[in-house]
Structure 1
Amino acid sequence: MTGTARGRDVTRLLADFGHDVPTLGAAPTPPKEARLFRHQPRRGTRVAGRGWAAASAPVTAYRMTSDQAPVFWPFIAGPGLPPTGAQMGIDMLSGSAFHADPVGWVLRDDIPVTNANVVCMGKPGTGKSATTKAFCLRMTDFGYRILILGDPKDEYERLCRFFGVTPFALGPGMPARINPLGLGPLAHGWADLTAEAARSRSAVAFTRWLTLVRALVGSQRIGSERVPFGPSEETVVKTALEDLTGYGTGNTTLTETTIPKLWHYLDAPTDRLIQQCRYSSRQHFLDQTRLLRDALGQLVSGALAGLFDDLTNIDVDWRAPIQSLSLSRLNPLGDEAVGTALVCLNSWGRGMREIADPGDLRVVVRDEVWKAMRLGVEAVKSLDEDLRLSRGVAGRGGDIQWLNAHKPSDMLTVGDQGSQAANIARDLMHLADVKILHGQKQGVARELDDMLGLGDQAREVMTGWAMQRKGRALWLVGERPYKVETRLHPLEEHLTWTNEALEGAI
């Protein structure tokens, strides 16, 4: 062979004719000396498992949500909450247990919560009631007591029976009576108070009563307009209450009055009342207070006659784990009657908590709160006042105010868009630093996004993940979102079940 021509060598030629040429073994290669230092290429050694790269990797920035980040960094979680309070379920973002402790969160500087109010909102059937009851039940292990200020559907009766407590039932023909103008604990030891302490207590009581009467009168309508309650009406009502209780004449003890007594006193005013309210004559007084007196008269002789117009005759054991006031028997009277009852119970419940012992903490549940808010701006102001005072006053009180609703538009129907009532109702959402948002339809999720600035990811949690199973919700603790699935013990599932009516219909 010459040049670069390819062909068979002699060994192959002989092999083709059946002759194998013996071969010699290859000489062993002497071992190389080990090197102390070895040069490495810039991109690494081109060997499997050595991290070699064909090109330099550019530095790239990625932006993602906390829901997406665990895919790339599964062992890194966002700022968690301390394991205090009721263990509600699983924090799906971190995989750890989720604990709810609203009062404890307020006391910590590293959690952006300034009040213990809770708004629980969700489409019917998404687990809103179960979450509420599970929280209440589990917080009793930490010394909390439960107060259900109006149970329109008897949803909490089974929970009361579990603790051996019978709910108080209010309704036509029922013996229970609640006086929303009752003094409550403020009457205890009044004769022993100093003049300054008596003035302080009376100011608390009269403020509560004026808030109640303003809400009740404002719930009445003249066509499409609400009955007005201005400074003149407030002066008349306050002066009448001072006369009826004896405070205006300097009595050392106050006499408890009722709404019917207030109505009769205004319908047949004394000369002293007319003079104190600066009316020129009896007829002038009657003409100017006609709407006020007629509105109070409707409460006395209307659908709720006999329920809130006498002295309280129920003996509430405030040391019991739970107390509930059933309103299911009022449902045939309509939403407005139930809403009025809720306003009366709200005033009565506030009176029962005005002198709470330090450390006596309660979860105060307000179910179907939208029924009370639809009574007008004054009813909304009453609820607004409760939320603002949830931290307690003068070192006393301080409860977890828990509001249940279906959607934000339930609250905003209290008035026209941009009205005072609608603005106050909208602000109620911001007076609750803890929000539990269960599954919602797209339209409602957009409403919540517009109101709270949640963002696309939060909306997807409510409209997607939370709708797939009961008990799933987006928890907003201050500004921090948590994707939580409530887990129930079989006993709790029995206590929180609310579909008996549907089961019975099948």
Structure 2
Amino acid sequence: MPDPTMPRLGPTPPSWGWPGQGLGRAAHAACPPLYQATTVQGCGLYPFTAGSGAPAVGVPIGRHMIWGEVVALDPVDWVRANLATNPGVFVLGEPGVGKSAFSKRMAVGLAAFGTGVVVLGDLKGEYGGLVTRLGGQVVRIGWGLDRLNPLDSGALGQAVTALDGTSPERARALRAEIRSRRLDLLLALCLIARGSRGAAVTDAEELALGGALDLLARDAAQEPVIPQVMHVIETGDPEMCRAVLARSPQEYRELTDGILRTLARICQGLLQGLFDGPTTTPADLSAPAVSLDIHALDNAADDIVAAALLCTWAYGFGAIDAARAVGDTRHYLTVQDEMWRSLRAAPGLVERTDRLTRLNRQKGIGSIITTHSLSDLEALPTAEDQAKARGLVERSAITVMGALPDLELGRVHQVRSLTTREREMVASWSAPESWETDRPHPGRGKYLIKNAGRLGIPVEMHLTPGEIDLYNTDTAIRRQPVARLPV
């Protein structure tokens, strides 16, 4: 018989228990501890488990912001696991929300997995300490520092010599590739030297550059440098006249005077002391990581910075190809920051930059490209360049978004489809809720990982104490105490 003095209880108790004496009413409901386990280990709790199926392939980035499971990322292994179509990662976000921290977490994790890390043109000097801590090599390029020869074939030239006796066809193919790379880089540097309003390189000028490279390539004992290219064109021997299809010495002078002046500006003005001589410190890709540091040029003119970025990109990718040619089979990760600062220097640079990264999928090279805003695309010189640059973004199968305002998310939506909920989530990270000081930015360490047409993965990254010191890019601004009004 039920006790008639007890209250009648319903089939489902309230969240804090039934009220009444001895009925288990709780004045405070504590948050229960959170555990994570596989369905095999936690099968007895089923169906009280949840998960989003976030990939566990690669470097642990952080925890899923909804389900709490660990999210991992490795662009090359995602391609191998059929999770992505190409190994390009495009990182986008406001300043100060952790774009560099994301890239550095990826670099450290992949270096631990045996992937070679190459930072191409570190314009802010953010990666030098990290690369040094990993036992890598930092090549500091600048006036009075290291010098880099952008026409240096490096180990690729050594591979050609080794293959001459064993595989002549392969040796010829590598020579053709070296020539193509050198000519592409020279043409790009000439475009930068002539500026956004300068004349395009003519057919005769391109033939002159190619002819000079062919003549210099006959001397296998040394690598050509840009001043030598200029000297060969200026000498104008009969073979050079034939190369540009000039019918007389006078016509040859008329056809090559323009390119000579452009090369003179590169050697005696634009890049003097930087990229106009032999390489002083060759990149050692046997090291765990390599940084081509150009932060000494950060305050230089835009055309100098653009030329420096382009030269380091070409040299870095050439060094990786050289390692491949001599039997290196490991994967590589390249980091390119401030890409748009180079591309907007002159028309046509987007196409030449695109050639550097187009075959990364076949070569096993993952890439990270970072920028603040897709509005940088609109600053490129021509509509054709803008369309090709948009293709660079679209070709990066993985897009990582930090905190962004809604206007910027609209631009992203044009190249990477976002749901309404995704846009609201990323926009909510963009602005602090109050003017209260000493509080972190609400978007610090929060990212939405979009992979092709799949739903995005919201992940929050927490840094270890060692990472906080190593990844901090606000050292200078946070060195002084905050000025406060007296109370």
Note the 1:316-395 alignment, pairs <5 A.
316-355=283-322, 356=324, 357-392=327-362
For residues 336 and 139 of structure 2, what CA distance do their matches in structure 1 show?
Answer: 16
Aligned to 1:208: 181
Three-state SS of the structure 1 residue aligned to 2:72 is: strand
Asked whether the equivalents of residues 437 and 462 of structure 1 are also in contact (C-alpha less than 8 Å), the reply is: yes
Q: Which residue of 2 aligns with 1:284?
A: 251
8 A contact 1:117–1:434 mirrored in 2: yes
Match of residue 160 from structure 2: 190
Match of 2:399 in 1: 435
- The offset of 1:255, in angstroms, is 4.0
- The answer to whether the Cα contact below 8 Å between 2:204 and 2:255 also exists between their aligned partners in 1 is no
- Partner residue in 1 for 2:128: 157
Give the AA of the match of 1:443: L
Q: CA deviation at 1:411?
A: 3.1
TM-score by length of 2: 0.82
Q: Which residue in 2 is equivalent to 1:55? A: none
Contact 1:167 1:324 in 2 (8 A): yes
SS of alignment partner, residue 377 of structure 2: helix
Question: Structure 1, residues 267-322: CA drift from partner, whole Å, max 9, x if none?
Answer: 22111110232111222122123332222211111142011111112143322111
Q: Are the equivalent residues in 2 in contact too, given 1:86–1:101 (CA < 8 A)?
A: yes
CA distance in 2, matches of 1:466, 1:490: 25
Offset of residue 218 of structure 1 = 1.4
- The 5 Å alignment of 1:69-148 reads 75-81=49-55, 83-109=56-82, 111=83, 113-148=84-119
C-alpha distance in 2 between matches for 1:74 and 1:338: 56
Where in structure 1 are there 5+ consecutive unaligned residues? 1-46, 51-72
Pick from 446, 452, 466 the counterpart of residue 472 of structure 1: 446
Write out aligned runs for 1:378-457 (5 A). 378-392=348-362, 397-416=363-382, 419-457=383-421
2:117 match: secondary structure: strand
Alpha-carbon separation, structure 1, partners of 2:447 and 2:202: 42
Cα offset, 1:203, TM superposition: 1.3
Question: Once the two structures are superposed, what CA deviation does each residue of 1:185-238 show, in whole Å capped at 9, x if it has no partner?
Answer: 12115344143122201111111112211211112336x523312443322211
Write the deviation string for residues 35-82 of structure 1: whole angstroms up to 9, x where unpaired: xxxxxxxxxxxx9549xxxxxxxxxxxxxxxxxxxxxx995544431x
Alignment partner of 1:402: what SS? strand
Q: Report the AA paired with residue 498 of structure 1.
A: T
Quote the residue 1:459 is aligned against. 423
* 3-state SS of 1:90 partner: strand
What SS class does the counterpart of residue 312 from structure 2 fall into?
helix
Among 215, 234, 253, the alignment partner of 1:267 is 234
Mapped partners of 1:138, 1:198: distance in 2: 36
CA distance 1:275–1:107, change in 2 (3 Å):
same
**Unaligned stretches of 5+ in structure 2?**
1-8, 13-46, 432-441, 482-487
Q: Which stretches of structure 1, 4 residues or longer, exceed 3 Å deviation after superposition?
A: 47-50, 73-79, 189-192
Is it true that 1:240 corresponds to 2:207 in the alignment?
A: no
Please give the alpha-carbon distance, in whole angstroms, between the structure 2 residues aligned to 1:227 and 1:331.
Answer: 27
Paired positions, count: 422
Distance 1:298 1:331 in 2: 20
TM-score (norm 1): 0.79
**CA distance change for structure 1 residues 306 and 191 in 2, over 3 Å: closer, same or farther?**
same
Structure 1 residues 501 and 254, CA, compared in 2 at 3 Å: closer, same or farther?
same
When residues 303 and 281 of structure 1 are mapped into structure 2, their CA distance, relative to the original with a 3 A threshold, is: same
Could you say what secondary structure the match of 2:299 adopts?
helix
Contact 1:217-1:227 at 8 Å conserved across structures: no
What SS does the corresponding residue of 2:360 show, helix, strand or coil?
A: coil
Aligned to 1:498: 473
Residue of structure 2 in register with 1:306 after alignment: 273
Q: Is the 8 A contact 1:211 1:378 kept in 2?
A: no
% same residue: 27
- Within 2, Cα distance between the matches of 1:451 and 1:433? 11
After superposition, give the CA deviation of every residue in 1:110-159 in whole Å (9 maximum; x if it has no partner): x2x11111111111111101111111111122111211111111111221
- In structure 1, the residue matched to 2:438 is none
CA distance in structure 2 between the aligned counterparts of 1:455 and 1:294, rounded to whole angstroms: 53
Deviations 1:386-429 (A, max 9, x none): 2211123xxxx42111111111121331124xx21111111110
Partner of 1:28: none
| 2:476 pairs with 1:486 | no
**Deviation, structure 1 residue 473:** 1.2
Change (3 A) 1:477 1:245: same
The residue aligned with 1:293 is 260
Post-superposition Cα deviations, 1:436-482, rounded to whole Å, max 9, x if no partner, equal 11111222122112232323222212211365131111111222211
The alignment partner of 1:366 has SS state of strand
Aligned CA RMSD, in angstroms, stands at 2.2
In structure 2, what residue type is equivalent to 1:313?
Answer: T
